[in-house]
Amino acid sequence: MIDRVTVERIIDAAEITEVVSDFVNLKRRGINYLGLCPFHNEKTPSFTVSPSKGIFKCFGCGKGGTAVNFIMEHESLTYPEALKYLARKYHIDVVEKEETPEEKQQKDDRESMMIVSGFAQRFFTRYLWEEPEGRQVGLSYFRERGFRDDIVKKFELGFCPSGKSIFTEAAQKEGYLMEFLEKTGLAIRREEWVRDRFAGRVMFPIHNIAGRVIGFGGRILKAEADSAKYLNSPESEIYHKSRIVYGIFQAKREIARADKCFLVEGYTDVLSFHQSGIENVVASSGTALTSDQIRLIRRFTSNITILYDGDEAGIKASLRGIDLVLEEGMNVKVLLFPPGEDPDSFARKHSSSELLQHIAGNETDFIRFKTALLLRDAGNDPMARARLITDVIRSVAVIPDSIARSVYIKECSKLLGVEETILYSEVRKILRAKTGNPAFSPSLETPARTPRQVIFPQEKPGELDTEELELLRFLLKYCKIPLFEQEEDDGNLPGIISVGNFIISQLTESEIVSKKPVFQTIFREIAERLDDPDFNPGKYFLFHPDKIVSQTASSLLAEKWVESKRWKKAGAFTEKESDALDWLVPRIVNEYKLRKIKEMHLRLEEEIGSLQTTGDENRLFDLLAKIHNLKKLEKFLSDKLGNRTIN
């Protein structure tokens, strides 16, 4: 047991932002920090960290708590184990009473495997630097490959002795149980023999995002027909190959700083990039790229460039990975090195600036890359070209963001010489098959954004227009939700524009706030309380003393909403409203502005009609000038909106 004084020291030292930043890329939002939740898959940040309160909270999945709770949840640790983790981070000595045999027996297997893996890394590293075989075989190999000693030490590389079970015997002498040596895959035991899994191999420790060793990759140095060149730790309680990328611990801060990740294939590719001074790089470790690996990278950036060998295998690997990256909503580019080169060899021949310059000059948007690649294979065969178009559009169809999807369709149309409507039709077929909805039919008239669910109350409270109802609903439901980020006046700290800030400032500056009493009451009282951190618009107006205001709020916040009949009839593809606030809120505001401008236009037309009897030419010219300006505004807003969202 950890004594109470030590527990208090650990809790006092554990600064929540520092702890969470080891795992999540946080961006400042006023007095708090915001990031993508590590506990569930999300594309819009809802994970908030409050330094002043010392807590985290995800408004998507509901998880929250202190720094200790975060480590327990993220690392699957018990409360005492999480305290020890934080104690190590903050260099606090942990004083424990001696464990009883029963407590030792109940020790968590996962932590025991972590401890064994940590010992193995230290053993292999020491053997590489201090033992004759390690220096002559292992260290010589790394130096012959051109790796500096500081890079070898940075990644804690090592060497496993070539004897049958030298490492296993050493571990057992140190008190590590055979049970956990087997579970981690470091040792292999049969009835008649025991041997080291990685005997005679140079060792690449695989660290989790917190920097703890969870597995190994071993490269054989002697050509043996029955031995794999690279051998990885088997799947275990602590090591899941499909969920980790090599080098993430060493790269995470630079990935977040650069807002970009380079994805390579192997261990030495990562080492060579670091040696060239480029640290925002990770490797898939020779495995097919998985969604879990992509989501791990997406915690720190949404921009990724896939770097693969220029041979046929590298090309096919890059194509397989592209669709998965797109499906996770990331911005992906691809670069193939010249034939005969790979990231490792190319990086060793060039300086950091030359390498970055080469990447910047040759990385290609995935559409151009895939199209050029498939066009080369298709030649003049019309059927092959048709298959090419389907293949490219299949990649476009997996993009979750419909704005990005429609931009890529425009690009495909230019590159392939095919009309946009045909490409949209293909996307519709693919998405229809994917959703299993035979009525699915995304609009072809709004390439800027595939139509989505727009919801209306079944009954309109008061006599408010549809746009007015929608604006009030967004104010009540999403008022405090961050919408955009902007630089504050000091030029350093990023500020945020919430949904409420945006709607209120847009309508106030345009001087088009509705004159209807219910709208004015809700609008004015929200504007007055916007800076109050404890203000909850939904709760406030549900219990408002004005009965009409209370009923309006109740109707707008009720669960009984229906899809717009227009989209439902068309079988339109819908997406979660909270994930689309960044385009939906400005669109509703522009819809409202357009309605008001048309109303003003109509009133001016009526006034012009009445002037025909009075003959006031000065007033007539003044009205015509105003109408001219309104028409320009109408056109501007109509162009921005494309198809109308609501009628």
pLDDT tens per residue across span 198-227: 999 999 999 988 888 999 999 998 776 567
By C-alpha distance, which of 448, 280, 439 is closest to 359?
280
* Predicted pLDDT of residue 316: 62
Q: Is residue 442 part of a domain?
A: no
- 523 and 639 in a single domain? The answer is yes
pLDDT at residue 200, rounded to an integer = 92
Q: What is the pLDDT of residues 249-269, one digit of tens each?
A: 999 888 888 889 999 988 999
Last residue of a domain, one of 362, 386, 408: 362
Indicate whether this model's pTM tops 0.75.
no
- Same domain for 629 and 518? yes
32: its two tokens? 């708090």
- At 528-559, the pLDDT tens digits run 888 777 788 887 786 666 767 877 876 777 64
When the pLDDT of each residue in the chain is averaged and rounded to a whole number, the result is 79
Pair (279, 184) in one structural domain: no
Of 539, 462, 543, 476, nearest to 504 (Cα)?
476
CATH of the domain at 14: 3.90.580.10
Nearest to 337 by CA among 369, 314, 366, 367: 314
| Section 344-351 average pLDDT | 86
Q: Is residue 443 part of a domain?
A: no
Q: Is 129 left (phi over 0), alpha (psi -120 to 50) or beta?
A: alpha
Task: Band the pLDDT of 384: cuts 50, 70, 90.
Answer: confident
More confident: 304 or 582: 304
Average pLDDT over residues 97-118: 72
The alpha carbon torsion through 610, 614, 618, 619 (nearest 10 deg) reads: -30
Give the model's confidence band at 564: pLDDT under 50 very low, under 70 low, under 90 confident, else very high.
Answer: very low
Please tell me the distance from the alpha carbon of residue 263 to that of residue 285, in angstroms, as a whole number. 10
For residue 541, what are the domain limits? 451-647
User: By percentage, how much of the chain surpasses pLDDT 90?
Assistant: 21
Q: What is the DSSP string of 330-370?
A: -EEEEEEPPTT--HHHHHHHS-HHHHHHHHHHH-EEHHHHH
Whose structure tokens read 């009923």? 551
For residues 498 and 631, state if they share a domain.
yes
- Cβ atoms of 152 and 272 within 8 Å: the answer is no
Last residue of a domain, one of 103, 127, 161: 103
Question: In this structure, what CATH number is given to the domain that contains residue 270?
Answer: 3.40.1360.10
Query: 572-592: per-residue pLDDT in tens?
Result: 444 567 777 877 888 888 888
Nearest-angstrom CA–CA distance, 396 and 403: 11
Among the candidates 51, 70, 103, a domain finishes at 103
User: What phi and psi, each to the nearest 5 degrees, are found at residue 309?
Assistant: -60, 155
For the chain, give percent helix, strand, coil, nearest 5: 55, 15, 35
Residue 188 φ then ψ, to 5°: -120, 125
Q: How confident is the model at residue 530, as a pLDDT?
A: 82
- Domain assignment present for residue 445? The answer is no
Residues 487, 524, single domain; the answer is: yes
Q: Looking at the structure, do residues 263 and 150 belong to the same domain, yes or no?
A: no
Q: Do 25 and 149 sit in the same domain of this protein?
A: no
Same domain, residue pair 476 and 550: yes
pLDDT of residue 494: 43
Domain presence at residue 441: no
Q: Is 444 a domain residue?
A: no
As a whole number, mean pLDDT of residues 220-241 equals 84
Assess if residue 556 is contained within a domain.
yes
CA 206 to chain centre: 22
The reply to whether 248 and 227 lie within a common domain is no
> If you average pLDDT over residues 86-110, what whole number do you get?
71
Query: Residue 129: which CATH number?
Result: 3.90.980.10
Same domain, yes or no: 354 and 492: no
Question: Do 95 and 21 belong to one domain?
Answer: yes
Strands (E), 375-517: 455-457, 482-487, 494-498
State the residue for tokens 């490792």.
344
How many whole angstroms separate alpha carbon 339 and alpha carbon 376? 16
Does 550 fall in a domain? yes
Domain count within the chain: 5
Cα-based distances in Å from 41 to 58, 195, 296, 322, 573: 12, 41, 10, 19, 21
Q: Is residue 367 part of a domain?
A: no
pLDDT classification of 197: cutoffs 50, 70, 90: very high
Same domain, 420 and 455: no
* DSSP 8-state assignment for residue 449: S
Sheet holding 331-336, edge to edge: 281-283, 261-264, 303-308, 331-336, 364-365
Q: What is the mean pLDDT of residues 472-480?
A: 88
